[in-house]
Structure 1
Amino acid sequence: MKIQQIRNATIILELGSYRVLVDPMLARKGELPPLRVFRARQRNPLVELPDAAAQALESVTHCLITHCQKGHFDHLDRAAKRWLRARQIPVICTPHDAPYLVEQGLNVQALPDDHQTPSPFLGGWIRTVRCTHGEGLIGRLMEHGVGYLIEICGEPSLYLAGDTLLTPTVRDFVLQHQPQVSVVPAGGARFDVGNHIIMGVDDVLAFTRLSLGTVVANHLEAISHCPVTRDGLAHAATGAGVAQRLLIPLDGQVLDLS
């Protein structure tokens, strides 16, 4: 297994002969609107795609979406829709997102609406895990989506947490399944009002202590409402004694986790 960090939540998974693009945001720097009004009013994304992105995208065979409605352009933007539509890449998603993505002209392959039973996926299995993308009033306005556990023979088990806080559901799932590799959102995103809507430093460190495997942090330094930096997270991981198991890739970097 290889994981290439593209930008923000966008990654490419190399699973045997397959290349799976996850939550693509392909816009140029500054093409998307701000996510804060009163503070850090910056257009998004904050950085361009890495130089390695164009070549990496040419190898993509499938796309996997954790959530994409209610304005969540950082997981599927217009540029990504155009790219997927032009190539008719199979787009794997939840039944909830399927009608919306069909309306966008995408080649949709919806998973069953079952959080308990794994479904066939690229010669292995995939199951969904509920996300909590914010709580309280903000949580009621958000699109929560899912995470995914992917299990393919000959590859490490992989948990893509999606956009979530470290909830009892996520804790229990990790303790029960102990995925060998987990990819978690680490940016500490929040709007002008309300609390965090994804994991920040404390949640990522707590997740890494729960997990016995390797943890990969993304959702960093690309979107204006995510204040956590790579250096800040790395420093905290060193202080917490988990730096060897918490990987913080740069945009464009490939992690070989075989």
Structure 2
Amino acid sequence: MKKLVSAIALIAFMTLSYGQKQTSIQLIRNATVVFHYAGSEFLIDPMLAKKGAYPGFPGTANSNLRNPLVELPVEAESLLAPDAVLLTHLHPDHWDEAAIKMLPKDKPVLTQNKEDAEIVRNEGFKDVRILSDKSKFKNIQIQKIHAQHGSDEAYANPQLAERLGEVSGYFFNEAGQKSVYFVGDAIWTDSFEAVLKSLKPDVIVLNTGFAQVDGFGAIIMGKEDVLKVHKVLPNATIVAIHMEAINHCVLSRKELADYVKSNGISNKVIIAADGERIKL
């Protein structure tokens, strides 16, 4: 009997350990993701406000609509105990007043540069770290990668360039785990294509809402960019997020699903639903 109990306990321990180490991505809403990787949990780009808490972004598509467009699929309180918070940038649909208020101030917050870090520290967070192209959190390698949040024409406009600001993506690569690239708010550029070819991530998380700024077009990727990514890395899994939650994101999940189906790549593209957990 003791041997049986011991065996059961060992199996339970191994199952729990495997579950903790298994890579998974849970889309919460918009670009807010809970990412389990190599035994750690990351809360990425938390926007935790209730539906309609903020006005639409001025000078963008559908600016009359209030953000976020939908409610959280889970209780915000269930998201407050990650091992770290990871921020691609500080736009309010990625780091909002609700998250700033609700998250514990001793929680590690990983940022892209000293400017963002200073802002987050001034918001009361005590453990704020700046990531680089060679960073680690615990045992996990995290590489910061530049993301261009709009066209060259958009950045040539001083006022818009200031609004768009600096944005980063992050590449996770740990022995025994699939490599995962969170691209962040970006458009397709030659440098992005070069990064794909160089890093060859197993999983690419794309912000694909095709957000539109009046007079300057898209500031994040859309359906055609999904196909471009697939053509560069046909064996990679693409996870599409950042849709149907913010006023200026005009690409719907249905339109993207129809597009990837018509191009024969549905088996390589996961169009995440709010609240959906994807095991990798």
TM-score normalised over the length of structure 2: 0.84
> Secondary structure in 1 aligned to 2:213?
coil
Say whether residues 1:104 and 2:126 are aligned partners.
no
C-alpha displacement at 1:75, in angstroms? Answer: 0.6
Aligned-pair RMSD on alpha carbons?
A: 1.7
Q: Distance in 1 between matches of 2:277 and 2:60?
A: 36
Amino acid across the alignment from 2:67:
N
Q: Distance in 1 between matches of 2:119 and 2:260?
A: 39
C-alpha displacement at 1:108, in angstroms? Answer: 3.7
Greater Rg, structure 1 or structure 2?
Answer: 2
Q: Contact 1:98–1:108 (CA<8 Å) still a contact in 2?
A: no
Equivalent in 247, 250, 253 of residue 273 of structure 2:
250
C-alpha displacement at 1:18, in angstroms? Answer: 1.5
User: Deviations for 1:146-188, whole angstroms, at most 9, x for unmatched residues?
Assistant: 1011112222111010100011111111111110111011000
C-alpha displacement at 1:111, in angstroms? Answer: 2.8
Q: Distance in 2 between matches of 1:22 and 1:98?
A: 15
C-alpha displacement at 1:253, in angstroms? Answer: 0.5
2:43 aligns with 21
2:226 aligns with 204
User: Deviations for 1:187-210, whole angstroms, at most 9, x for unmatched residues?
Assistant: 000122211001011112211221
Q: Distance in 1 between matches of 2:148 and 2:94?
A: 16
Q: Contact 1:221–1:227 (CA<8 Å) still a contact in 2?
A: yes
Q: Distance in 2 between matches of 1:198 and 1:157?
A: 22
Number of aligned residue pairs: give it. Answer: 249
Q: Distance in 2 between matches of 1:153 and 1:218?
A: 26
Amino acid across the alignment from 1:225:
H
Equivalent in 57, 67, 74 of residue 44 of structure 1:
67
1:127 aligns with 143
Q: Distance in 2 between matches of 1:104 and 1:38?
A: 28
TM-score normalised over the length of structure 1: 0.91
C-alpha displacement at 1:38, in angstroms? Answer: 7.6
User: Deviations for 1:43-102, whole angstroms, at most 9, x for unmatched residues?
Assistant: 1000000036543x154221100111xxx1001000011122x35211011223111111
Q: Distance in 2 between matches of 1:253 and 1:61?
A: 20
Give the 5 Å matches for 1:75-114. Answer: 75-84=94-103, 86-96=104-114, 97-112=116-131, 114=132
User: Deviations for 1:1-45, whole angstroms, at most 9, x for unmatched residues?
Assistant: 010000000000011331100000001000011124585210100
> Secondary structure in 1 aligned to 2:278?
strand
Gap runs ≥5 in structure 1: none
Q: What percent of counterpart residues are identical? A: 34
Say whether residues 1:138 and 2:154 are aligned partners.
yes
> Secondary structure in 1 aligned to 2:94?
coil
